[in-house]
Structure 1
Amino acid sequence: MTSREPVGIRRLEAIHYYVHDLDRSRRFYTGALDFAETAVSDDALAARGKQKSVIFEAGAVRVLVSQPVGEGGRAWRWLQKHPDGVGTLIFEVEDAAHTLRVLESRGATPISDVIETKDDLGTFKTFSITTPFGGSTFRFVQRDRYDGTYPGMKKHATPQGGKNAFGFLGIDHITSNFETMSPALLWMEHVMGFERFWDIQFHTNDVAGERESGSGLKSTVMWDRKSGAKFANNEPKRPFFRASQINLFHEDQKGDGIQHAALGVKDIIPAVRGLRERGVRFMPTPGTYYDMLPQRLEETGVKEIDEKSDILRELEILVDGEGLKKYLLQIFLQDSAGLYGEREAGPFFYEIIQRKGSQGFGGGNFRALFESIERQHKMEGRI
């Protein structure tokens, strides 16, 4: 790709999650994941936006969760079309006016001009654009000595809830599903200025031999080189398009959209053990995965890992990598609908990842994840 003027992204700062039940989210983030509740919307913001909002944080992970109050607000409009899900990604930028100028010159569709708020906390500037990510938008924020989170959000004097006992570090990457991803990839490249980072395509084992079902995908990771923000993007791969997990996600989501967010951790083994003790459920991994693990480590060139395989098997943690002792460890929570037993909770889920020298995306584990989702769909009688 030819060199493009950077849009000035500093980091992917937060995800904005729209839900039917904010109290359920509070129990999940503070009670299960040990996030701290750090801020709530004030009365004026709730009345103006017709939604109440809470910020949950752990390390550099920030999740803004909003529930409708009456009709007409952004959360209400999202939930008229979709189940609970991530409707906005929030990026911190160096200069909001510059970012808007560059994006608009490349064909972005702004929802507003830069909106500036000046108060006793400082100066805050923001604007949003539409995206090909289903109904999700991108929001860009700039702070000039702004001692707050977002205008209208009141910080708690003392954060409430958890203490980040599981060592969450930040948002490692975002993964989205599309019925056809080429338009999204072109938009990310030519509008956002992202570059291609990694790709893979495969089918699950169920398409082997004479089987008549299975699931396949093509995946391409795009990234913003300066900030390091990464976006994995999936589409179905023939045959069996309609039975593919990407298509089933599309049906559950009622459109394309953000499938999961990966949260980095310092040490995945105590994190997963502690989360399981709190009742958090993960997508299952068959024992055969660990039977084949030594062979896979040889084939990928990783050869040796620091962790004991029996502990990884016990906790169902996945391993992948490339090159000598360059690997990652990851595991996937059940999706929200599965965690809560309610379809309206949506198909979004979290990944937990620890990187040990690898900057890849666990190509072998993509297959393991998809086979795990496929087993769940079979149990539900969906395929």
Structure 2
Amino acid sequence: MPPRLYTWINGKCRTDDGGGMETAFVEIYVDDLKRSVQEWTDGFGFRQVATARCDAGGWASAALRQGRIGLVLTQGFLDEHPAQLYVSLHGTGVAHIALRTPDADAAHAASLAAGARPAPALDSLRGSRAGLCVAAFGDVVHSYVDDATARDVTGVAAALLHDDQTPEAAGPGLTRVDHFAVCLASSRLDAAVAFYRDALGFREIFQEFITVGPQAMRSRVVQSPSGLVTFTIIAPEPDAVPGQIDDFLKQHGGDGIQHVAFASDDAVSAVRTLTDRGVRFLRAPGSYYELLTQRVTPKSAPLPSCASGTC
């Protein structure tokens, strides 16, 4: 692999070959760790690579891997633990996204200089360089890690920084995190886009105004310079009839991540395998696929397979 040169300019990471930031792992706060691990391993085909428990601190975690996807599941047992507080407010959900960068210290410093708010260190990563965290939106936090961090930190997530990331020999074939879908109140959409642009050096690559009958929403997509970390940020149109985004914000108790999308080299095969493993998929209305061809051209999976529920 050719060497990469990295420079931080006005808070933005520039590289000579488009490399750089990627998702190191995603931490999900859960209400039942044992059940959640079973769902991700038996249903989605992840393998467990590490566990940790701290009775005095009131938490337990498990690290899971599939391809380049790293997950940390954390349950809090004490009322004051962040995981327990999160679950009591929002239910099970994504609370922490670790971003791997060429230079975690520089990335963290640049984010703070650009106005990002510092966030406390998390139990999933421990060590002298484990506190490189910033607040993102809602109760979601980003941490920065790099090769030096991987050598320094301990904690359950450290296993994911050292673990083999080659594709699994068998299983559903999920390879990496494709994107995160974020739902925000309409008044915070512009600020969220500005945060990722100014504090993390992302660029806005797409925006769209979507109407579904009397419902409407705004969608803006930001992406890291590497192209490997993408957030689709969605907010309801305040003057429209309330729809699914409003429902999420109400049920979740505020801004948060609605879903995490996983990539696969063969989406149709992955869905079939996951279905056989007991994973249930939502059915999209037929009109979705009829309108889809007006927006994108599928590169691999044929639309008839998707519309029939096998994709």
TM-score by length of 1: 0.67
Shift of 1:69: 2.2
Q: Kindly provide the amino acid, as one letter, of the partner of residue 274 in structure 1.
A: T
Shift of 1:4: 3.3
The answer for the alignment partner of 1:138 in structure 2 is 142
Shift of 1:33: 0.5
Shift of 1:125: 4.2
Q: Decide whether the 8 Å contact of 2:219 with 2:234 is kept in 1.
A: yes
Shift of 1:231: 0.8
Shift of 1:12: 1.4
In the TM superposition, what whole-angstrom CA distance separates every residue of 1:292-349 from its partner, at most 9, and x where no partner exists?
47xx64x5584x86555543333253xxxxxxxxxxxxxxxxxxxxxxxxxxxxxxxx
Higher relative contact order (CA 8 A, sep 6+): 2
The answer for the alignment partner of 1:129 in structure 2 is 134
Shift of 1:199: 0.9
1:227 and 1:49 map into 2 onto residues whose CA distance is 37
Shift of 1:289: 5.0
SS in 1 for 2:279: coil
The answer for the alignment partner of 1:237 in structure 2 is 237
Matched, 1:277 2:276: yes
1:239 and 1:4 map into 2 onto residues whose CA distance is 37
Identity of aligned residues (%): 21
1:250 and 1:75 map into 2 onto residues whose CA distance is 19
The answer for the alignment partner of 2:112 in structure 1 is 104
Shift of 1:79: 1.9
Count of paired positions: 288
Q: Kindly provide the amino acid, as one letter, of the partner of residue 134 in structure 1.
A: G
SS in 2 for 1:139: strand
Q: Decide whether the 8 Å contact of 1:126 with 1:142 is kept in 2.
A: no
Q: 1:89 to 1:146 in 2, by over 3 A?
A: closer
1:192 and 1:54 map into 2 onto residues whose CA distance is 28
1:240 and 1:51 map into 2 onto residues whose CA distance is 42
Question: CA RMSD, aligned part only?
Answer: 3.1
Q: 1:225 to 1:248 in 2, by over 3 A?
A: same
Listed as ranges, the gaps of 5+ residues in structure 1 are: 119-123, 208-214, 318-383
Q: 1:167 aligns with which of 173, 192, 195?
A: 173
Q: 2:308 aligns with which of 314, 335, 350?
A: 314
Shift of 1:111: 2.5
SS in 2 for 1:171: strand
Shift of 1:287: 4.2
TM-score by length of 2: 0.81
SS in 1 for 2:272: helix
The answer for the alignment partner of 2:93 in structure 1 is 85
Shift of 1:81: 2.0
Q: Which has the larger radius of gyration?
A: 1
Q: Decide whether the 8 Å contact of 2:28 with 2:71 is kept in 1.
A: yes
Q: 1:99 to 1:166 in 2, by over 3 A?
A: same
SS in 1 for 2:146: strand
The answer for the alignment partner of 2:127 in structure 1 is 117
Q: Decide whether the 8 Å contact of 1:125 with 1:142 is kept in 2.
A: no
Q: Decide whether the 8 Å contact of 2:21 with 2:226 is kept in 1.
A: yes
The answer for the alignment partner of 2:192 in structure 1 is 184
In the TM superposition, what whole-angstrom CA distance separates every residue of 1:228-285 from its partner, at most 9, and x where no partner exists?
31111001125434x2221111111101111111100011111111111222111112
Matched, 1:29 2:40: yes
The answer for the alignment partner of 1:222 in structure 2 is 222
Q: 1:4 to 1:282 in 2, by over 3 A?
A: same
Q: Decide whether the 8 Å contact of 1:59 with 1:164 is kept in 2.
A: no
The answer for the alignment partner of 2:12 in structure 1 is 6
2:30 and 2:22 map into 1 onto residues whose CA distance is 25
2:301 and 2:199 map into 1 onto residues whose CA distance is 42
Q: Decide whether the 8 Å contact of 1:15 with 1:64 is kept in 2.
A: yes
SS in 2 for 1:78: helix
The answer for the alignment partner of 2:84 in structure 1 is 76
Q: 1:40 aligns with which of 51, 55, 59?
A: 51
